[in-house]
Amino acid sequence: MNRLDAMQMFVRVAELASFTKAADSLGLPKASISTGIQQLENLLGTRLLHRTTRRVQLTLDGQIFYERSKDLLADMDELESLFQQGASNLSGRLRIDMPSAVAKNRILPRLPEFLALHPQLRLEISSTDRRVDLIREGFDCVIRVGKLSDSSLIAKPLGQLELINCASPAYLARYGIPDTLEALAHHQLVHYVPNLGSKSAGFEYMYDNDVHFISMEGKITVNNSDAYTAACLAGFGIAQIPRVGAQDFLAQGKLIEVLPDYRAEPMPVWLIYANRRNLPRRLQVFMDWVSIQMQGYIA
């Protein structure tokens, strides 16, 4: 078996911690993945992975080999395109994750134009509000909204999403239009939490450059941005929605902005990728394109 192919298999298994998931992502039989890595271990004379019935974990030697393999594979991508001229020569596969609203409203509608310029590229797009593990799940880059935790990953700021307070006409006809923060005591909030079971912080607003929260009642809690907007449209309460995601509903009269003087803190948007010494050219070109597309979407 080709050594670079075996190395690619090993890297994907290491990132996904699963032979089955690695096989699915590479479009290969699981037996081929297992055989390729076994041959690689025989060639190197060391065990790279601990295998049990429940999990796959890197050995100490495997961790060292994994880091060097990522650099080598990135270098090979660069070498293959070193003397190629023209954007159409980009080839290979990219795996990207982004929030569902960003995928639906901005990236996917414009993606045909990008792929028309780069017909040899193949994209795997995950669109979820869950914070994926870029390294372990084998993503090349992710678009992430919100504050970041400390990480060894590279985070490029793309801008900010302005949040506005919205409610449906039916909801406001029933509960009235709040004109003060005190009036929120008589209103319902659509609660959003990343993980169901955790507690919502409540209604967020900025005052004197500080973030404040007001605890509010609410009959529904969601963990998905599409469901969040849908719950607001259905009249379950006030929601704090990115303006870009609400503007069509505002124009159609399906949502009405309330309390414009008490908006939540804008949400930063990031393009995140691994701290590699050399990035594949296809990834660099795609991230440059994403940055341009997001300019008209966020502030």
**pLDDT of 93:** 82
**pLDDT of 182:** 96
- Please compute the mean of the pLDDT values over residues 109-132 and round it to a whole number: 89
Domains of the chain listed by start with CATH number: 3-80 (1.10.10.10), 87-152+269-295 (3.40.190.10), 163-265 (3.40.190.10)
Whether 70 has a pLDDT exceeding 80, the answer reads: no
**pLDDT of 100:** 84
Tokens 């029933």 — which residue? 174
- Please compute the mean of the pLDDT values over residues 128-134 and round it to a whole number: 80
Nearest one of 212, 203, 205 to 184, comparing CA atoms:
203
Q: List for the chain the helix, strand, coil content (%; round to 5).
A: 40, 25, 35
- Please compute the mean of the pLDDT values over residues 198-220 and round it to a whole number: 93
Using alpha carbons only, give the angle 274, 32, 1 rounded to the nearest 5 degrees.
Answer: 85
Reported as a pLDDT band with limits 50, 70 and 90, residue 84 is low
Nearest one of 21, 12, 24, 116 to 69, comparing CA atoms:
12
79, 271 in Cβ contact below 8 A? no
- Please compute the mean of the pLDDT values over residues 68-93 and round it to a whole number: 69
| Centroid of chain to Cα 215 | 29
Tokens representing 45 are 């004379």
> Pick the residue with more confidence: 54 or 272?
272
276, 70 in Cβ contact below 8 A? yes
Question: What is the model's pTM?
Answer: 0.70
- 157-166 pLDDT, tens digit per residue, is 999 999 999 9
- Helices (DSSP H) in the chain: which residue ranges? 3-16, 19-26, 30-44, 60-80, 100-102, 108-117, 169-175, 225-233, 243-252, 281-295
Cα dihedral 28, 81, 289, 276, rounded to 10, equals: 70
Whether 87 has a pLDDT exceeding 60, the answer reads: no
Specify which of 16-20, 54-58, 106-110, 249-253 reaches the highest per-range mean pLDDT: 249-253
Reported as a pLDDT band with limits 50, 70 and 90, residue 1 is low
Mean pLDDT of the chain: 88
CA 208 to CA 154: how far, in whole Å? 31
3-state secondary structure of 211: strand
| Centroid of chain to Cα 75 | 26
3-state secondary structure of 238: strand
Reported as a pLDDT band with limits 50, 70 and 90, residue 277 is low
Specify which of 56-70, 208-222, 277-291 reaches the highest per-range mean pLDDT: 208-222
Tokens 């025989």 — which residue? 42
